[in-house]
């Protein structure tokens, strides 16, 4: 895609600090890291979000994400990781090329992921029926 920053990184038009790369997936350091070692994992081909990415490519992104999480745990001594993925503007996606954030967590980091304002809609049977209807 012409103006996509991640496509430009894949093409080498924008430099990156690559941690892993194969024919389908690239993992590199986020230049606006939330914590030390924050990695982005992307498919090399442009897919806007979870709704567009083919399952076989998504599988590869997830496998590389796990590999990156293990590297962060083993080599940077991360005590945990957050895997974060946003899909569509309403979900706060800001780069419209599918990507997974691998955010290493350390006991002294200040990052808080807070789910505020939970829904009052708790009619679980109706919700389940609506999700599963064809």
Catalytic residue among 38, 46, 97, 99: 99
Do residues 14 and 26 touch, judged by C-beta distance below 8 A? Answer: no
- 99 belongs to the catalytic site: yes
Do residues 64 and 20 touch, judged by C-beta distance below 8 A? Answer: yes
Do residues 17 and 39 touch, judged by C-beta distance below 8 A? Answer: no
CA angle 41, 20, 43 (to 5 degrees): 35
Contacts of 91 (CB under 8 A, 6+ apart): none
Q: Which residues are catalytic?
A: 99
């Amino acid at each position: 895609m012409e103006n996509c920053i991640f496509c430009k990184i894949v093409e080498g038009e924008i430099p990156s600090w690559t941690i892993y790369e194969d024919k389908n997936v690239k993992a590199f350091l986020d230049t606006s890291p939330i914590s030390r070692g924050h990695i982005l994992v992307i498919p090399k081909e442009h897919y806007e979000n979870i709704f567009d990415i083919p399952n076989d490519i998504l599988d590869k992104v997830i496998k590389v994400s796990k590999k990156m999480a293990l590297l962060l745990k083993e080599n940077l001594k991360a005590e945990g990781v957050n895997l974060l993925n946003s899909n569509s503007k309403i979900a706060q996606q800001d780069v419209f090329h599918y990507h997974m954030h691998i955010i290493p967590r350390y006991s002294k980091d200040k990052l808080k992921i807070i789910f505020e304002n939970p829904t009052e809609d708790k009619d679980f049977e109706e919700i389940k029926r609506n999700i599963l209807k064809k």
